[in-house]
């Protein structure tokens, strides 16, 4: 887990609790999405979006799940 993602998730208790409750494959989706950013600006946006989604109880690509 990248240090900046860990810090961002720990900054929100709801996000941290939900992140710990999801399976490893779902955690990997967030990690790969954040680390796949090429520009620092994009990475910062993805970190913020990840925390927002996790705090709301949503996984990555949840809209495609049945």
In this predicted model, what pLDDT tens digit does every residue of 16-31 receive, in sequence order? 999 999 999 999 999 9
* Distance from chain centroid for Cα 39: 17
Record the pTM. 0.86
3-state secondary structure of 56: coil
Does the pLDDT of residue 38 top 90, yes or no? yes
Report how far apart, in Å, the C-alpha atoms of 18 and of each of 5, 14, 23, 25, 49 are: 14, 6, 10, 14, 14
With contact defined as beta carbons under 8 Å apart, do 44 and 1 qualify?
no
């Amino acid at each position: 887990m990248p240090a900046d993602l860990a810090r961002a998730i720990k900054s929100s208790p709801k996000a941290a609790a939900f992140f710990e409750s999801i399976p490893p494959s779902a955690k990997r989706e967030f990690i790969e999405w954040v680390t796949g950013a090429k520009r620092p600006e994009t990475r910062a946006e993805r970190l913020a979006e990840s925390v927002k989604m996790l705090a709301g109880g949503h996984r990555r690509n949840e809209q495609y799940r049945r």
